């Protein structure tokens, strides 16, 4: 049993199918590891009785003759997805202790496939951040180095998978919140096309950008999760209706003849030498496997950060207006009247980063600034999307770094919000374009901290993206590396 945690989701699935381990045994094994490594602060809510009840139900389904690659496999959910049986707080005092009356569609889909929930994962408050230092319940520690941030906002998800506290974890990506923490912790993180996964039941940050995805050890594991997780949801007005597909179908194709575009703008000033060296080595490996590298240009990519930090705060200021103390969530105890109650509720309930983004968003949407900032940002967003469309006319995939550096230390960027925002320099353009993107482990940099390689595909080409990532992982073992002590 001691080695179970280090097996991939696909390997655990095969053990369950052969009845060499039960769902209950697997769930208990991971629950024990979660308790053993509480110092990571990756989990916010763990309820063993509920988890074991789900595991017993999965075992009963197998006993009745049911099967499926995810039946009985554990998963943990980022605390941005609402869940009926665990608190849903978005890592904010504003929602401390909140119990949702329903499950998010993503959660429900995975539960229907038989996955067993281990609990809820820490994150930046309302998914706002690049380091997981904004959680109202304390930061998550990076399993590779306790002095390093795990990345954000899905830091709990990435740390849990890196420390082998869960074989898979859900996450969300608004401007890079799956890919950046995956890179910082040496796991595989995949963001599908915007509109593929349902947003129903995701605590909203920026509605035109929020995208559910997954953290796993491997691309194969991510493909298995996507088969159950993604699909049309009539409850979500932004959900795309497309025929179901098998996201594992290209896993054995290899990359021979694949054209991989390398944006020259992603290798300019600001990219640290250690990250560049690891990414260049990964690109050489793709060439060795038969892919062709093509230099491409994304001329408007450098505008991604200013565009994102107009659009995302604008949408956040609208979405977070619902937290007023009237209907649910935190309410100030002492107040003079309704207006005073709302002011004090928001002052007490929101942390510094949500307040900052609400103020920025309200400003850019205000009369006299809407045209100058928000409309202009939307126009440039279109230009960025057009850059990607032109690039994909020349290549099949795009590859480059995920982040400008390896994981930085706690406190290193908290006093400079702009420096923190620049951590998303290479991930934001893909989010603005709504294309599927992934981070896969490709080496180590300064202080022995992981480096991620970013792969991006055209809209609805997740299977091709996962196939290329799988080919690389079959030829390398970076994704198999485990932090010392875990």
3-state secondary structure of 332: coil
The one catalytic residue among 22, 100, 135, 177? 177
Q: β-strands 437-444, 188-191: how paired? A: antiparallel
Alpha carbon distances (Å) from 40 to 145, 149, 166: 11, 11, 13
In sequence order, the 6+-apart residues with CB closer than 8 A to the CB of 471 are: 253, 254, 255, 289
253: which 2 tokens? 């194709």
What DSSP string describes 38-67?
Answer: GGG--EEE--HHHHHHHHHHHHHHHHTT--
438: which 2 tokens? 């992934």
- How many CB atoms sit inside 10 A of residue 270's CB? 11
The one catalytic residue among 92, 130, 131, 153? 153
Residue 177 annotated as catalytic:
yes
**CA-CA distance, 479 to 469, in Å (whole number)?**
11
**CA-CA distance, 207 to 453, in Å (whole number)?**
27
Compute φ and ψ for 460, nearest 5 degrees: 65, 20
**CA-CA distance, 181 to 280, in Å (whole number)?**
20
138: which 2 tokens? 């304390």
- How many CB atoms sit inside 10 A of residue 60's CB? 11
**CA-CA distance, 11 to 20, in Å (whole number)?**
11
The one catalytic residue among 78, 120, 191, 344? 78
**CA-CA distance, 90 to 429, in Å (whole number)?**
25
Going by C-alpha positions, the residue among 302, 38, 258 that lies closest to residue 165 is 38
Catalytic residues: 78, 153, 177
């Amino acid at each position: 049993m001691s080695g179970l945690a280090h097996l991939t989701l696909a390997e655990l699935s095969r053990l369950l199918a052969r009845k060499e381990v039960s769902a209950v045994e697997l769930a208990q094994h991971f629950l024990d590891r979660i308790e053993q490594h509480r110092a990571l602060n990756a989990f916010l809510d763990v309820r063993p009785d509920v988890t074991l009840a789900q595991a017993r139900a999965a075992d009963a389904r197998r006993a009745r003759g049911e099967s499926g690659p995810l039946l009985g496999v554990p998963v943990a959910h980022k605390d941005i997805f609402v869940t009926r049986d665990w608190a849903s707080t978005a890592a904010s005092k504003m929602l401390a202790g909140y119990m949702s009356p329903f499950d998010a569609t993503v959660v429900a889909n995975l539960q229907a496939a038989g996955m067993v929930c281990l609990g809820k994962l820490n994150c930046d408050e309302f998914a706002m951040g690049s380091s997981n230092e904004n959680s109202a319940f304390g930061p998550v520690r990076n399993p590779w180095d306790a002095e390093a941030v795990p990345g954000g906002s899905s830091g709990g998800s990435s740390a849990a998978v890196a420390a082998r506290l869960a074989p898979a974890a859900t996450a969300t990506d608004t401007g890079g919140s799956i890919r950046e923490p995956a890179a910082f912790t040496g796991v595989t993180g995949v963001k599908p096309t915007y509109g593929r996964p349902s947003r129903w039941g995701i605590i909203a940050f920026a509605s035109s950008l929020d995208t559910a995805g997954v953290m796993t050890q491997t691309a194969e594991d991510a493909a298995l999760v996507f088969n159950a997780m993604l699909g049309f949801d009539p409850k979500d007005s932004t959900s795309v209706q497309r025929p179901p597909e098998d996201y594992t179908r290209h896993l054995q194709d290899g990359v021979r003849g694949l054209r991989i575009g390398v944006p020259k703008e992603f290798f300019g000033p600001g990219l640290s030498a250690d990250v560049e060296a690891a990414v260049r080595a990964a690109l050489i490996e793709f060439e060795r496997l038969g892919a062709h590298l093509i230099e491409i240009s994304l001329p408007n990519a450098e505008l991604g950060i200013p565009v994102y930090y107009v659009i995302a705060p604008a949408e956040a200021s609208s979405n977070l207006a619902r937290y007023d103390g009237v209907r649910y969530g935190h309410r100030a105890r002492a107040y003079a009247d309704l207006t005073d109650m709302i002011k004090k509720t928001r002052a007490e309930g929101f942390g510094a980063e949500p307040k900052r983004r609400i103020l920025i968003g309200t400003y850019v949407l205000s009369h006299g600034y809407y045209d100058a900032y928000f409309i202009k940002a939307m126009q440039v967003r279109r230009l960025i999307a057009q850059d990607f469309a032109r690039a994909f006319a020349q290549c099949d995939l795009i590859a480059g770094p995920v982040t400008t550096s390896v994981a930085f230390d706690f406190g290193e960027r908290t006093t400079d919000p702009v420096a923190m925002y620049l951590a998303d320099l290479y991930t934001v353009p893909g989010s603005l374009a709504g294309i599927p993107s992934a981070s896969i482990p490709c080496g180590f940099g300064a202080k022995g901290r992981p480096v991620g390689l970013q792969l991006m595909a055209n809209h609805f080409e997740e299977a091709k993206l996962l196939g290329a990532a799988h080919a690389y992982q079959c030829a390398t073992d970076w994704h198999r590396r485990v932090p010392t002590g875990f």
